[in-house]
Structure 1
Amino acid sequence: MYFSDIGIIALILATGFALYTVVIAVLGAVRNKAQLVASAKLSTLTVAFFLLLAAAALVVSFLTHDFGVRYVAQHSSREMPWYFTVASFYGGQEGSLLYWAVMLAIFSALFVFTSRRAPKTLVPYTLATLMGIELFFLIVLATASNPFVRVPVAPDDGNGLNPLLMDPGMLIHPPLLLMGFMSFSVPYALAIAAMVTGVLNNEWLRSIRRWALASWTIQTAGLLLGAWWAYHVLGWGGYWSWDPVENAALLPWLTTTAFLHSAMVQERRGMLKVWNLFLVIASFALAIFGTYEVRSGVISSVHSFAYSDIGSYFFTFLVIVVAFSSGLFLYRLPRLQAEQEFDSVVSREGVFLFNNLLLIGITFATLWGTIFPLVTALLRGQTMSVGAPFYNQVVGPLIGVLVLAMGVGPLLGWRRTSLAALWRNLCVPAIVTAVCAAILPIAGVTNVVANIGFSICAFTATAILYELWRGARVRHAHGEPYVLAVYMLFQRYRQRYGGYLVHLGMVMLVVGIIGSAFFQVKHDAVLKAGQDTSIGGYQITFMGNIDMQESDRETVTAQLRLWSNGQSQGYIYPGRIIYRNYGNQPASIIPILSSGLTDLYIVFADYQGATEATLQLFINPLVPLVWYGGLLMLLGGLICWWPERRRVARVAREAAPKAAQPEAKGVVA
């Protein structure tokens, strides 16, 4: 028996238990039988076990070079290092779908272990929904996209991994992004359970928010790593090209960001219930849309798989999800009435709603640009697409206003804010912004749009730091040193101050985007041995090409000597790797030299023998801030998500009569 046979058996058994879970969980809920619900939980864990077994069987097939498995032969070879061989597990369509299913099973198992924190009535329907989604993936894996299919005659060696995937980023970016897409399933399942049972109060909201925050954090990491990978592998000098698949990964992140903000309004004021439910459903639907887009190949992208009939499966599933969710949503609409109304536009909830509208505007613009080729092909019979200028002109201003609103929101109170309080809170950020706007032209920032963008970022960063300083000052007045005071703010109000870190990281990221978008310098040079060129204070001397031949590849590197301010900085080696098994497809070796907040980025574009090279040189200002800002956003997300320790005093306060409790402070995510 081959390991692939074990994998097939495991998939069949997982399918049977998933179907059993759907049926028995619904029966347990309808008949109010705790034993049936307990059986559904155990069956969910069994599905996770068999899917992990299937995944292990595929990994072992890769490691043992079982090229009788078609998927193994297509995506690995004997020359590959073991870690890339393992990563080949999710390097193609079939394996990535299995990975999706495995992670969904793991998250479903985690929900089982933490289900005591969710409302009891929601648990069986949540399990049924999760296993319903799982059942779809298992059916696809068993029929249209089985990774364990064997070929009649096994080749001696495989094709190897796609050259663009032979990078350390392969070990972490795809699994994180696929996990991010999958993770939106749990909030969606909770939303379906809430609509089925009618439990649409704040208890449901608290159950779903932590899962949504986990999804947001995972997807943030996936997007950040994807941008980093594109920057140091694809060789075009940038990190985000508004590629359709990049956009598809961004869409559910945007709607979940909107939900995390509007959820606070519902919890605090009992408002935006309809909006929150819509955002949760939309996030999952957009995640499935993104998966469909990659699998179907209907939209051209460097990330897409080849055209496949599997796209019809996902399109059908997407239609079912939208139709079923919309039906439940309309059925429960009368029970989603707001408990209060907006008292004033100049309030924290007013800014949160405005933020949501901006995020949805960005989502719609990005979605429209992504599906525009499909729309034009359908209506006009020819495919037309939009490029980066469309997104920059439409999305760019919306992001600028969004960053500005991020700075204003924390300075406003709930319900309403008086003009005197508004001016008192905005005074310091406004002064800093005015000074920044005046200094930037003197410093050489003559571009008006860039000046406005930097000034907005200065306002928001100042507002966040000012709010942090005010909180620390209050604690310092009671005897705490400032360092301890800041630590205690994050310790005791994690969601609020973790959210401030997310906002501050977003500001840094936007500053990096503005710097690299408006002030990038590009220079093309064709050099012969001994010739030099210069860019941004650097002098580069071409010493010749180095050609290395291996059994499955050819590596050509240009030897460059780098000078800065008249001093030698050593040698750098941009290059190209040509993989023979992939039709001599090249992959770039891109040296990136960071000096302060500026990158020197060199691409080896072409060569003629050993004595001539075509180079593309870039000076990318402020790009490191994109990575630093992204890491700060991740840190803030983790702080928000991290569970607070239970304290006896808190339990006592919750048990005390409500009238005796002090008014709770606002929380910002």
Structure 2
Amino acid sequence: WSWLLSLYAAIVVLTNRRRHRSFLPYVTATLMGTQVFFLILNAFIASPFKMLAVGREITAAADGRGLNPLLQYWAMAIHPPMLYLGYVGFVVPFAFALGALIAREPDESWLRTIRRWTLITWLFQSCGILLGAGWAYAVLGWGGYWGWDPVENASLLPWITATAYIHSVMMQEKKGMMKVWNIVLISATFWLCIFGTFLTRSGVVSSVHAFAQSEIGHWFVGFLALIAGVCVFVILNRLDYLKSEARLESVVSRESSFLFNNLLLLVSCFAVLWGTLFPVISEAFTGEKISVDTLFFNRVQVPIGLMLLFLTGVAPLVAWRRTSVASLKRNFLFPGAGALVLMGALFAAGVRHFYALVCFGLCLFVAWTIFLEFYRGARAIRVRTGLSLPAAAVELTRRNTRRYGGYTVHMGIVLMFVGFAGAAFNQHKQVETVVGGTFNIGRYQLKVRELREGANPNYVWNHAVIDVFVRGEHVGVLEPERRFYPASEQGTSEVAIRRRLNEDLYLNFAGMTDDQSKAVIQAYVFPLVSWIWIGFWVLLAGTLICLTPSRVKVRGTRAGEEPELAAEMAAAER
């Protein structure tokens, strides 16, 4: 925290030394106030050098046990730094918002500055979360990528509020609306970043991800209370400065879709926070810690996620201020009909899982609306310039990177939801088998060709070689392995995965039976899970497009240009 925050603060001061002079001192003071808190912890409360110090001298320390075997994976070299780049980075937009509020800054150009900062830190947080999910899937051996663990939730909470802010701040930029709401959102995001660090380091809740348990918890509680108090006081004291410049004119408008999007995200955030803190709350009132399981989170979050997915498709189809009935019919007819046809076809094919059916239908609905947005704009540019349709789509994106980069991010979310929906059809089987033994799962027939064992200076291992057949045809070999590290007295799994776009075949060597005569193999089939990782790369590309400056174009009707084409171009580039 301290090192990254000092780096961020230096970049902020350097890049803004000739801008925002009226409130930059408040920005710097906010950054430095946060830095002072963490430096006090490092220097006096939980010094990282304390264990090596005896009096005033540094003593020699025995060799440690080495890096936790579960963390010896490439993604774990990137996952923690990415998360902390996100956690710490959200201090910057909060500092700008608080500084502008204190100084009553009349010029809202600072919104463009923190928009870029927020997108960058949101991207870091997204990368950290998805890298952690990929690590859990490929290393832990249980086949999942998200377990609603408290520390996992702690990384998700500021991501949710930051996502809400990224959408709602567009209302303030375009319409001068939702100013109080935006300040609350960015303040909540910063507060949740500190709260996530508190959960990770305090041990207040049990988590497999907690780094350490220490006595710094009450210091964090005090700092969190201070942040909340300062934010509430400043917001209430500056309510006159935060008056909206416009009102919501219609429920059926783009403004209302952003508002509903924000409300759903906040409900999702509260549900995650409630489930995470429920053991602490229950202990305070009953004296007993009661944890909620993944079923609670899934029951709440799945419907919310589907409603958010629906709004992702609705927003591009409705206009600012208000939308006519004729426009709704024209824009919703084909995407809506396509979604219903797909759901009917899947139902006829035997799919009976309600949420999965709805999710697949909504994914097609949203993808269709995104395609229409690109197609209409690209078609107008093609007519005007003679470019091919793909080249026109690239040109369209370059002219308004924020808009079409955002649509690309939405497409990444759609692909991830396809992967999430596939979890409804997961299959699992555990068998005890010997060399030559066979077993089936889904459409796969598996035969154990060989079992090996051995050791090296780092670990002891058991290794299986398993042939994979589909309808009698040999399609590959998977080699899962079980390891035991004597230094840390910890066992790990090296899972074997056959990755395909339609499904993954996932094998985990769980160990040997007590009499060492049979191997215990856990086999899973995970339909569509690869689309989660593909969606992440699309999301990454879309965010980078958003961060790229748009090409400036002069709008208007040229001499001899058809009015209809000019109107279509204006609609495409709006």
TM-score category (smaller protein): over 0.9
SS at match of 1:214: helix
1:165-564 equivalences under 5 Å are 165-199=71-105, 201-478=107-384, 479-516=386-423, 518-564=424-470
Q: What is the rounded CA distance, in whole Å, between the counterparts of 1:643 and 1:351 in structure 2? A: 26
Structure 2 vs 1, CA of residues 434 and 668 (structure 1 numbering), >3 Å: closer, same or farther?
farther
Q: What is the rounded CA distance, in whole Å, between the counterparts of 2:412 and 2:572 in structure 1? A: 18
Structure 2 vs 1, CA of residues 648 and 520 (structure 1 numbering), >3 Å: closer, same or farther?
closer
Contact 1:497 1:668 (8 Å CA) reproduced: no
Structure 2 vs 1, CA of residues 175 and 665 (structure 1 numbering), >3 Å: closer, same or farther?
farther
Letter in 2 for 1:409: A
Question: Of residues 18, 24, 38 in structure 2, which corresponds to 1:137?
Answer: 38
Q: Quick check: 1:604 aligned with 2:505?
A: no
Displacement, 1:639? 0.9
5+ residue gaps, structure 1, are: 1-99, 651-661
1:144-163 equivalences under 5 Å are 144-149=45-50, 150=52, 153-163=59-69
Q: What is the rounded CA distance, in whole Å, between the counterparts of 1:429 and 1:533 in structure 2? A: 43
Structure 2 vs 1, CA of residues 470 and 384 (structure 1 numbering), >3 Å: closer, same or farther?
same
2:561 corresponds to: none
Q: What is the rounded CA distance, in whole Å, between the counterparts of 1:136 and 1:666 in structure 2? A: 49
Q: What is the rounded CA distance, in whole Å, between the counterparts of 2:436 and 2:327 in structure 1? A: 67
The two structures, once aligned, show a CA RMSD in angstroms of 2.1
Letter in 2 for 1:401: M
Letter in 1 for 2:467: R
SS at match of 1:334: coil
Structure 2 vs 1, CA of residues 489 and 454 (structure 1 numbering), >3 Å: closer, same or farther?
same
Displacement, 1:200? 5.8
Q: What is the rounded CA distance, in whole Å, between the counterparts of 2:379 and 2:452 in structure 1? A: 61
Q: How many residues align?
A: 556
Displacement, 1:118? 4.4
Q: What is the rounded CA distance, in whole Å, between the counterparts of 1:156 and 1:434 in structure 2? A: 66
Q: What is the rounded CA distance, in whole Å, between the counterparts of 2:337 and 2:568 in structure 1? A: 32
Letter in 2 for 1:592: I
SS at match of 1:335: coil
Letter in 2 for 1:587: T
Displacement, 1:233? 1.0
Displacement, 1:325? 1.5
Contact 2:399 2:573 (8 Å CA) reproduced: no
Q: What is the rounded CA distance, in whole Å, between the counterparts of 1:663 and 1:476 in structure 2? A: 12
Structure 2 vs 1, CA of residues 353 and 529 (structure 1 numbering), >3 Å: closer, same or farther?
same
Can you list the C-alpha shifts for 1:174-201, whole angstroms capped at 9, x where unaligned? 1101111111110111112112211165
- Does 196-205 or 126-135 show the bigger shift? 196-205
Structure 2 vs 1, CA of residues 267 and 340 (structure 1 numbering), >3 Å: closer, same or farther?
same
Runs (4 or more) in structure 1 with deviation over 3 Å come to 608-611, 647-650, 662-669
2:500 corresponds to: 595
Structure 2 vs 1, CA of residues 668 and 293 (structure 1 numbering), >3 Å: closer, same or farther?
farther
Structure 2 vs 1, CA of residues 553 and 428 (structure 1 numbering), >3 Å: closer, same or farther?
same
Can you list the C-alpha shifts for 1:442-482, whole angstroms capped at 9, x where unaligned? 33322222111211111111111111111111111212221
Structure 2 vs 1, CA of residues 487 and 268 (structure 1 numbering), >3 Å: closer, same or farther?
same
Letter in 1 for 2:298: N
Q: What is the rounded CA distance, in whole Å, between the counterparts of 1:171 and 1:666 in structure 2? A: 45
SS at match of 1:562: strand
Structure 2 vs 1, CA of residues 209 and 118 (structure 1 numbering), >3 Å: closer, same or farther?
farther
5+ residue gaps, structure 2, are: 556-566
1:585 corresponds to: 490
Letter in 1 for 2:498: L
Letter in 1 for 2:400: Y
Structure (1/2) with the larger helix percentage: 1
Q: What is the rounded CA distance, in whole Å, between the counterparts of 2:83 and 2:239 in structure 1? A: 33
Q: What is the rounded CA distance, in whole Å, between the counterparts of 1:468 and 1:572 in structure 2? A: 42
Contact 1:495 1:667 (8 Å CA) reproduced: no
Can you list the C-alpha shifts for 1:186-242, whole angstroms capped at 9, x where unaligned? 011111211221116532322221111111111111111111011011111110111
Letter in 2 for 1:125: Y
Identity among equivalent positions (%) equals 42
Contact 1:546 1:610 (8 Å CA) reproduced: no
Letter in 1 for 2:31: L
Can you list the C-alpha shifts for 1:361-384, whole angstroms capped at 9, x where unaligned? 111111111111110010111001
Structure 2 vs 1, CA of residues 356 and 117 (structure 1 numbering), >3 Å: closer, same or farther?
farther
Displacement, 1:667? 10
Can you list the C-alpha shifts for 1:361-409, whole angstroms capped at 9, x where unaligned? 1111111111111100101110011111111111110110110011011
Can you list the C-alpha shifts for 1:14-54, whole angstroms capped at 9, x where unaligned? xxxxxxxxxxxxxxxxxxxxxxxxxxxxxxxxxxxxxxxxx
Contact 1:599 1:621 (8 Å CA) reproduced: yes
Letter in 2 for 1:139: I
Q: What is the rounded CA distance, in whole Å, between the counterparts of 2:275 and 2:323 in structure 1? A: 38
Displacement, 1:312? 2.1
SS at match of 1:268: helix
1:60 corresponds to: none
- Does 331-340 or 105-114 show the bigger shift? 105-114
Contact 1:601 1:618 (8 Å CA) reproduced: yes
Letter in 1 for 2:491: P
Letter in 2 for 1:601: Y
Question: Of residues 549, 572, 575 in structure 1, which corresponds to 2:478?
Answer: 572
1:115 corresponds to: 16
SS at match of 1:202: coil
